[in-house]
Chains A and B, each alone.
Chain A
Amino acid sequence: QVQLQESGPGLVKPSETLSLTCTVSAYSINSGYYWGWIRQPPGKGLEWIGSVYHSGYTYYNPSLKSRVTISVDTSKNHFSLKLSSVTAADTAVYFCARLAGVAPYHYYMDVWGKGTTVTVSS
């Protein structure tokens, strides 16, 4: 069964770039689907960040678009998130997910990673 696993630093300094990778197992990213990132600040709800297709086509949350880059590496079967100029407000649990349904209007997250906590602090 498809599994997703987030990895990356758990602590990032303010103004630096947060970088996370989501490794997909038991499914080839090249086979289809969009792949996305969602975050959850401590004690708060879910926030959509963006998604990427195996071709590299992306959709981004407009409120984060100026700081976000999501990319895919099909040779390593993983996709990545970069969020620049981070502040304490970017402290959150970051989840990666597989997106089923018709992008972007009807897609939903059918498989999730366990999430990784990223703290922004000096």
Chain B
Amino acid sequence: QSVLTQPPSVSGAPGQRVTISCTGSSSNIGAGYDVHWYRQLPGTAPKLLLYGNYNRPSGVPDRFSGSKSATSASLAITGLQAEDEADYYCQSYDSSLSDSVFGGGTKLTVL
């Protein structure tokens, strides 16, 4: 059971907008620690999608955006494409655990 809670699954049709939430607490997101997002295609290594809550690395399209408020963060994907079907993970730091932590992951299905 991760200290960062993500929905196990979300889905959307091509072209739609979906959001994936990452809910934490006062010892991680609520304490001001950055949230980062990764995408993992089946059988491959995770890839950095967003860092520092909302920053996109070079090469990541602006269809991907991030936000953060209070004790939660969200990843939004607009213009959903078939290749977006993957597992998505949030990551932050937790002061109670004195450790980096990952969310449990969310499987995105493109209908």
| Residues of chain A whose beta carbon lies under 8 Å from any beta carbon of chain B | 45-48, 59, 61-62, 95, 100-101, 104-110, 112-115
Contacts and interface: CB of A to CB of B under 8 A. Distances in A.
5 contacts: A47-B102, A48-B101, A48-B102, A62-B97, A112-B45
Q: Which one of A62, A107, A108 has the highest number of Cβ atoms from chain B below 10 Å of its Cβ?
A: A108
Contacts of B2: 45
Given A45-B89, A48-B99, A110 B48 contact: yes
Interface string B25-64: 0000000011010100000111110011000010000000
A107 B36 CA distance: 9
A48 B48 contact: no
Given A47-B102, A104-B93, A108-B36, 16 more contacts: A45-B89, A45-B105, A46-B38, A46-B89, A61-B99, A62-B98, A101-B51, A104-B100, A105-B34, A106-B52, A109-B38, A109-B46, A109-B48, A110-B48, A112-B45, A112-B48
A39 to B, nearest CB: 11
Contacts of A106: 33-34, 52, 93
Majority-rule SS of A interface residues: loop
A104 B17 CA distance: 33
A101 B45 contact: no
Contact of A108 (B44, B91, B103): B91
Interface in B70-94: 89, 91, 93
Q: Which one of B34, B45, B98, B104 has the highest number of Cβ atoms from chain A below 10 Å of its Cβ?
A: B45
A18 to B, nearest CB: 19
Given A100-B51, A101-B51, A110-B57, A62 B46 contact: no
